[in-house]
């Protein structure tokens, strides 16, 4: 299956060019096979694209703007749909493609299946050891922060006094018993 991206290579709109570049750049970076079809220089491409974008996806004026994305003959969506799928990490299902082996991909809501305990099947699939360690560290930091609050067992006023007393000691220590004289030497 080949992804078709309809673009206008000679578009005068900076916004359209940026959107086209983002789609093409993403597909290239993720090594997804695609074919770029120019609607500015090829009337057949322009006509095919306009005829195959579903009516509900066409703007009010009836002329869909590039980039428009298809998987062979199947319409995938426009830039906004592509961007949403990318943000939700469901780009492969958006494109109608199987995710590459070993990739960390979130399934679309209709593809998710719940387990009896309420967890979602496949939720932790593809989590690397580093990510697991990072999550554990984050959890440890949260526990340490919670533990610090619980261990103090003091009402908020006492905690504030403790903080101030620590500040006070730092202030005394910071000023120290050594002073600089105007000549640059130290005196005690």
pLDDT tens per residue, range 63-96: 999 999 999 999 999 999 999 999 999 999 999 9
Report yes or no on 29 lying in a domain. yes
Q: What percent of the chain has pLDDT over 70?
A: 55
29 and 77, same domain (yes or no): yes
68 and 133, same domain (yes or no): no
13 and 59, same domain (yes or no): yes
Helix (H, G, I), strand (E, B) or coil at 98: coil
Can you give the pLDDT at residue 183? 55
Report yes or no on 108 lying in a domain. no
31 and 90, same domain (yes or no): yes
Can you give the pLDDT at residue 62? 86
Residue predicted with more confidence, 23 or 134: 23
Q: How far apart are CA 99 and CA 93, in angstroms?
A: 8
**Cα-based angle 124, 126, 131 (whole degrees, multiple of 5):** 75
Statement: residue 29 has pLDDT above 90? yes
Q: How far apart are CA 125 and CA 166, in angstroms?
A: 47
Per the structure, the count of domains in the chain is: 2
Report yes or no on 137 lying in a domain. yes
**Cα-based angle 31, 33, 34 (whole degrees, multiple of 5):** 125
34 and 70, same domain (yes or no): yes
Q: How far apart are CA 27 and CA 33, in angstroms?
A: 7
12 and 87, same domain (yes or no): yes
Report yes or no on 28 lying in a domain. yes
Tally of CA atoms within 13 A in the half-sphere of 95 that contains its CB: 23
Residue predicted with more confidence, 135 or 27: 27
Report yes or no on 165 lying in a domain. no
Domain limits for position 39: 3-95
Region 5-25 average pLDDT? 97
90 and 139, same domain (yes or no): no
**Which residues, in sequence order, are bridge partners of residue 77?**
69
pLDDT tens track for 123-176: 444 444 444 444 444 444 444 444 444 444 545 444 444 444 444 444 444 444
90 and 127, same domain (yes or no): no
Can you give the pLDDT at residue 141? 45
66 and 147, same domain (yes or no): no
11 and 84, same domain (yes or no): yes
Residue predicted with more confidence, 35 or 60: 35
Q: How far apart are CA 152 and CA 169, in angstroms?
A: 19
91 and 129, same domain (yes or no): no
Report yes or no on 188 lying in a domain. no
Can you give the pLDDT at residue 14? 97
Two tokens, residue 137: 């560290």
Can you give the pLDDT at residue 144? 42
CATH of the domain at 76: 3.40.30.10
Q: How far apart are CA 162 and CA 159, in angstroms?
A: 5
């Amino acid at each position: 299956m080949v992804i078709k991206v309809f673009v206008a290579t000679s578009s005068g709109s900076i916004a359209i060019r940026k959107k086209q570049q983002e789609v093409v750049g993403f597909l290239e970076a993720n090594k997804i096979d695609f074919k770029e079809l120019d609607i500015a220089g090829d009337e057949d491409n322009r006509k095919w694209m306009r005829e195959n974008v579903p009516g509900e996806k066409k703007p009010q004026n009836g002329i869909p703007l590039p980039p428009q994305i298809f998987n062979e003959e199947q319409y995938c969506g426009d830039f906004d749909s592509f961007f949403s799928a990318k943000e939700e990490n469901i780009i492969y299902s958006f494109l109608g493609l199987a995710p590459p082996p070993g990739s960390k991909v979130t399934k679309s809501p209709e593809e998710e299946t719940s387990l009896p305990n309420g967890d979602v099947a496949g939720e932790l699939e593809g989590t690397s050891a580093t990510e697991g360690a990072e999550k554990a560290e984050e959890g440890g930091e949260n526990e340490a922060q919670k533990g610090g609050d619980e261990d103090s067992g003091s009402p908020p006023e006492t905690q504030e006094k403790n903080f101030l007393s620590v500040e006070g000691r730092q202030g005394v220590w910071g000023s120290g018993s050594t002073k600089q004289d105007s000549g640059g030497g130290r005196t005690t």
